[in-house]
Amino acid sequence: MSHDAAHDSAVLLGGRYRLGPALGAGGMASVYRSRDMLLGREVAIKVYRSAALDQAEIDRQEAEIRTIAGLNHPGLVTVLDAGVYLPHPDTPTIFLVMELLSGGSLHERLLRGRLESLEAALLGYDIASALNYLAERNVVHRDIKPGNILLVTYARTDTRIHAKLIDFGIAKSDGRPEITTPGTATGTAQYLSPEQASGEEVGPPSDVYSLGLVLLECITGARAFPGDSIPSAVARLMRDPEVPKDLPEEWRTLLGAMTARKPEDRPALSDVVLDLRTIAVGELARAHDPAHDPSDAAEPADTNGPDVASS
């Protein structure tokens, strides 16, 4: 069955979901703005491709659903439902129902220019917190990139934009069978870690590296390893990304450590969370008092996120 069949306006997926306009498409699935006819709310539905399915592809689809169904974190998109559309016994189509986030992606935001230091630190804090949560549950995302980070404002009174991580199509979870071929690179070339580019086993330090490249792009406005897939992937095996010398010292230190070529030289995700929080708190203090020295600030007592309500 094609996506067009599932998208027929007369079809209700799972007996309740009507697909609307496409929000995006990838190699394995398309995402649609949809409506839950039972509860009367807007949702996002990821419809997996069913054409020429082989067992490996079915395993990959099911693994993504199993991985994210058990996760609950403010920095991760919320899964609401899942099901199988079966117009014909030999062409099952798996679909995944998620909360609809209408703020666009970080990729779309970066098309308008780089982020200010505070905004980059806050968004980075959100994603690092989510990745730390995943790491504690032995899950490695493996495809951290601006297109997989969605932006959201929770309420009109909210004083900042928040970030949520999506797309667990190639995530690796301990206890689940590996669904990619050993020795092959997985992920998006411009944001791969060196170990991913080499086709080696990856762990949480791989996500640290990729997030470091995303943050570097956020505050410089340029990709560290641009170009076509193969040259971009190979480049990080030969050199470190260039961290501009005119960046504040705390950014230079953090980004340099996050993008170290050896996984063991990178900071733990829990340390990245604290460092980004410290940078954000320092930026907030400077905004209120330009003469403020962030080194004088007490270390935050919790990791619930910088309080920007007074900014």
Residues 147-187 pLDDT 10s: 999 999 877 666 789 999 988 755 566 544 443 434 344 56
Identical fold, 14-99 and 104-171+186-287 = no
Can you say whether residue 104 is alpha, beta or left, with left for phi > 0 and alpha for psi between -120 and 50 degrees? left
Within 10 Å of residue 89's Cβ, how many Cβ atoms?
6
CATH 3.50.50.60 fits 14-99, yes or no: no
Per-residue pLDDT, 66:
79
Per-residue pLDDT, 265:
98
List active site positions.
Answer: 143
Within 10 Å of residue 48's Cβ, how many Cβ atoms?
25
Any bridge partners for residue 36, and if so which?
Answer: 17, 41
Per-residue pLDDT, 160:
85
The answer to whether the CB of 93 falls within 8 A of the CB of 48 is yes
Residue tagged 């203090």 (tokens): 285
Domain boundaries, the chain: 14-99, 104-171+186-287
Q: Report which of 206, 18, 1, 154 is spatially closest to residue 9, judged by C-alpha positions.
A: 18
Per-residue pLDDT, 280:
96
Per-residue pLDDT, 178:
45
Per-residue pLDDT, 3:
52
Can you say whether residue 64 is alpha, beta or left, with left for phi > 0 and alpha for psi between -120 and 50 degrees? alpha
Can you spell out the DSSP letters for 63-130? HHHHHHHT---TTBPPEEEEEEE-SSTT--EEEEEEE---S-BHHHHHTT-PPPHHHHHHHHHHHHHH
Please tell me the distance from the alpha carbon of residue 8 to that of residue 251, in angstroms, as a whole number: 50
Q: Report which of 237, 267, 264, 270 is spatially closest to residue 255, judged by C-alpha positions.
A: 267
| CATH superfamily of this structure's domain 104-171+186-287 | Transferase(Phosphotransferase) domain 1 (1.10.510.10)
Per-residue pLDDT, 53:
61
Core vs surface per residue 182-205: b (16+ CB within 10 A) or e: eeebbbbbbbbbbbbbbeeebebb
Per-residue pLDDT, 310:
35
Residues in the chain, pLDDT under 50:
1-2, 175-185, 297-303, 308-311
Per-residue pLDDT, 311:
34
Per-residue pLDDT, 292:
57
